[in-house]
Amino acid sequence: MLIRFNKPYGVLSQFTPEGRWHGLKDYIDLPGVYVAGRLDADSEGLLLLTDDGQQQARIAEPRFKMEKTYLVQVEGEPDEPALAQLRRGVMLNDGPTLLARAQRVECPADLWPRTPPIRERKNIPTAWIELVIREGRNRQVRRMTAAVGLPTLRLIRTAIGPYSLEGLTTGHWKEVPF
């Protein structure tokens, strides 16, 4: 069994809540499924769950290098040199990142509002970037955008390999064939 879940902001990638964060049990009541990969509580979007240990490893293990696609709202205006640096890889405190795909995109018309909303500063514009990576270090996308001078305000994972958020509203899940 494979489950696609559109994880809301404020939900951990585990079933048990901790502190101010909710757990998956508030949304998914299926015994025997486990998260394949992580998504921070302050990030939103696609989370995959499965009851198959081999499938979980194929999705979550960095050695399989399954592409992950993110929609990132950043503070500032991404210019071509910043995007090119993201594509080439940036140096983080735990070493350089692999090559990535990065492009500026428009905010999707069907994007749900985040609760709570992001902070907006009147004098600083925001923009959206689509970033595709093949690794999954702790808070990697946020650290990558910060390294090129574009702090992340909102982070939404839209796809993992062939699986996407298509047709899923925030807080809902659907079983899919694998």
Cis geometry, peptide bond prior to residue 116 (ω within 30 degrees of 0): yes
Distances (CA, A) of 177 to 4, 66, 74: 10, 17, 34
Is the separation of the CB atoms in 44 and 156 below 8 Å? yes
Annotated catalytic, 40? yes
Q: Which conformational region is residue 20 in: left (phi greater than 0), alpha (psi within -120 to 50 degrees), or beta?
A: alpha
Q: How many CB atoms lie within 10 A of CB 110?
A: 6
Contact 11, 41 (CB under 8 A): yes
Tokens at residue 115, please?
A: 């609760």
76 Rama sector, left if φ>0, alpha if ψ -120 to 50, beta otherwise: left
Exactly one of 29, 40, 79, 94 is catalytic; name it. 40
Q: Name the residues annotated as catalytic.
A: 40
